[in-house]
Amino acid sequence: MDEVKVGIVGLGNVGMGTLTILAENQEQIALKLGFRLRVTAVCSRSVESKKLPAALGPVFQTTDWRELVKHPDVQIVAELVGGTVVAAEILDAAIEHRKSVVTANKELMAASGPEIWDRAIRAGINLAMEASVCGGIPIHAVLREGISGDRVMALYGILNGTCNYILTEMEKRNVPLEVVLKEAQRLGYAEADPSADVDGYDARSKLVLLAALAFGEKITPSDIFMEGIRRITEVDFRYARQLKHSIRLICGARRIPEGIILSVRPALIPASTILAGVQGAYNAVWVKGEYGEDTFYYGWGAGALPTGVAVVSDLMRVAREIRSGSPERVSPFAHERLGGNKPVPVTLQKRCYFLRFRVDDRPGIIAKLAGILASKKIGLEAVLQEPCDTKHDLPFVITTEETSEQSIREAVEEMSGLDFLNEAPLALPMETAL
């Protein structure tokens, strides 16, 4: 049986998970392919300290990725180092040496994936990136091929496992975000610097990639409205529950007549929806097609083995193409050419809103807030207030009738100057139509 030869750059969690699968599952993989996928080279800054699975057999080991990329016994390079600087150099070098690339790198692909794909096409090689979004969910394959005959109208994702773990623990245990974040850091679910996750950057890079696949647009990450989860409190979950809703960090993408509207933000979602059932560090993507209507994808968003499966499956796909010499590659962005339309401003979005206030209590507060809402033509739906021991930091909630994000922003801006507020109002959209 002939073989296709693979070099792996980066032996962190995902790299080691990938090697484990390639070693332990090699018979299954060979049965599916009809030939062997063999790891011929690995590269890591600490390669000497890595224990490679014995079943891989002899493997060239180096600390210099350049040696691996140009090694004559490497046909596919798996770039699993992350970051954007060295990773970009590795991809450039692989393309220059006409070697196909499998990558798990969402930041790099979100920032410059389409340009890298153009170069890959010109070099006659392939570029695969299933592991870059929702490690354990084959969402690229679904959008690229599985439902490519449909016209995606909307996509809603829970794309950051760390945030989902934090939010669902807060909800279950009625504890503050800082407590759960510290636990998550201790358990290794959250980084020491949690900003990429809790402030929304990680989810935003993933949404850039899914929006390209779903809608064929090349989106600049900073053009997506992004709000993290730091302001969510356990009190918000209690009020959301009274409204039969839950709170999740939702990556939303929708076609509206004016274009595509994109956002990464905490939102209220009905407790009865399938997305609200997504607990812990799981990810999920809900796609609404014009013809096929609703499909839902669920699984681990990260982790050595789930993400390793995505890398190995990409390696298998690329290896098949190498063996068959197929010139008909499907773009990793699901479209031959991406458009350059900017997303529509989120201020056009119309929703009901959940407004949470923390106030130093005194008479006339509701009247004042209601007056500001009325001046923006925003109708009140409900006022909710739990019994509270203190008058000095009293939380309560107003929900509104459907209005535009623009009107809500103007109202929140005006309210923020009021002296009885302990902090600016928190405004969350209610995704009641999910």
Q: How many residues does the chain have?
A: 434
Site string for ligand HSE, 177-216 (x = CB under 6 A): --------------------x----x--------------
Query: Judged by CB under 6 A, does residue 405 bind ligand HSE?
Result: no
Tell whether residue 161 is a contact of ligand HSE (CB under 6 A).
Answer: yes
CB 283 within 8 A of CB 157: yes
Q: Is 169 in the site for ligand HSE (CB under 6 A)?
A: no
Instruction: Tell me how far, at minimum, the Cβ of 249 lies from ligand HSE, in Å.
Output: 10
Structure tokens at 30: 């060979």
399 binds ligand HSE (CB under 6 A): no
Q: Which two tokens stand for residue 277?
A: 């059932």
For ligand HSE, the binding residue among 109, 240, 302, 426 (CB under 6 A) is 302
Phi, psi for residue 80 in degrees, rounded to 5: -125, 35
DSSP assignments along 245-269, one per residue: EEEEEEEEEEEETTEEEEEEEEEEE
DSSP string of 37-60, one letter each residue: EEEEEEE-TTGGG----GGG-S-E
Give the nearer residue to ligand HSE in terms of CB position, either 161 or 332.
161
Q: Which is nearer to ligand HSE, 9 or 190 (CB)?
A: 190
* C-alpha–C-alpha distance, residues 328 and 331, integer Å: 9
Nearer to ligand HSE, 71 or 106 (CB): 106
Give the integer Cα–Cα distance in Å for 247 and 256.
24
Cα 394 from chain centre = 35
**Residue written as tokens 């809608």?**
215
Selected binder of ligand HSE within 15, 301, 332, 425 (CB under 6 A): 301
Interface region with ligand HSE, contact rule CB under 6 A, candidates 155-163, 208-216, 225-233, 358-366: 155-163
Binding residues for ligand HSE, how many (CB under 6 A)?
7
Is 51 one of the catalytic residues?
no
Is residue 332 within the footprint of ligand HSE (CB under 6 A)? Answer: no
Region of residue 293 (phi > 0: left; psi between -120 and 50: alpha; otherwise: beta): left
Q: What SS3 string covers 322-366?
A: HHHCCCCCCCCCCCCCCECCCCECHHHCEEEEEEEEEECCCCCHH
Q: Which of 5, 99, 206, 218 is labelled catalytic?
A: 206
- Other CB atoms within a 10 A radius of the CB of residue 374 amount to 12
d(CA 68, CA 349): 49
Looking at beta carbons only, is 195 or 326 nearer to ligand HSE?
195
User: Considering beta carbons, is residue 169 or 197 the nearer one to ligand HSE?
Assistant: 197
Whichever of 100 and 105 has its CB closer to ligand HSE, that residue is 105
Does residue number 160 form part of the binding site for ligand HSE (CB under 6 A)?
A: yes
Paired tokens of 157: 């994702």
Question: Collapsing DSSP states into helix, strand and coil, what is residue 235?
Answer: helix
Indicate whether 17 belongs to the interface with ligand HSE (CB under 6 A). no
Q: How far is the CB of 163 from ligand HSE (least distance, A)?
A: 7
Which region among 48-56, 93-101, 154-162, 419-427 touches ligand HSE (by CB under 6 A)? 154-162
Cβ at position 213, least distance to ligand HSE in Å: 17
Q: Which residues are catalytic?
A: 206
Q: Which residues bind ligand HSE (CB under 6 A)?
A: 160-162, 197, 202, 301-302
